Amino acid sequence: MRPNLLKKLQQEKRTAVNAWVSMGSGYLAEVLGHSGFDAVTVDLQHAPFGFDQAVHLLQAISATPAVPLARCAGLTLAEINKLLDAGAYGIICPLIDNVDQAAMFARSCRYPPRGARSFGPARGLLYGGSDYLTKADDEILSLAMIETPNALEQIERIMDVEELDGVYVGPSDLGISMGLGPNAWPDDRITQAIEHILKVVHARGKYAGIFCGPAEMGEACTALGYDLVTPGNDVTLLRAAASERIKGVRKAQRPASAA
In this structure, the number of other CB atoms found within 10 A of the CB of residue 205 comes to 9
Q: Which of 116, 122, 187, 200 is nearest to 156 (CA)?
A: 200
Check if the beta carbon of residue 250 is closer than 8 Å to that of residue 233. no
- The reply to whether 34 belongs to the active site is no
Q: Does the CA dihedral 3-19-186-99 come out positive or negative?
A: negative
Q: How far apart are CA 250 and CA 25, in angstroms?
A: 30
Phi then psi for 113, rounded to 5 degrees? -85, 0
Phi then psi for 110, rounded to 5 degrees? -125, 145
Q: Which of 8, 10, 83, 72 is nearest to 45 (CA)?
A: 72
Check if the beta carbon of residue 20 is closer than 8 Å to that of residue 211. yes
List, as one string, the DSSP characters of 172-220.
Answer: HHHHHHTTS-TT-TT-HHHHHHHHHHHHHHHHTT-EEEEE-SSHHHHHH
How distant, in Å, are the alpha carbons of 9, 89, 104, 184, 210 from that of 34? 18, 17, 34, 32, 22
Catalytic residue among 46, 56, 196, 202: 46
Beta-carbon contacts of 166 under 8 Å, excluding residues fewer than 6 positions away, are 141, 142, 143, 144, 159, 201, 206, 207, 208, 209, 227
Catalogue the active-site residues. Answer: 46
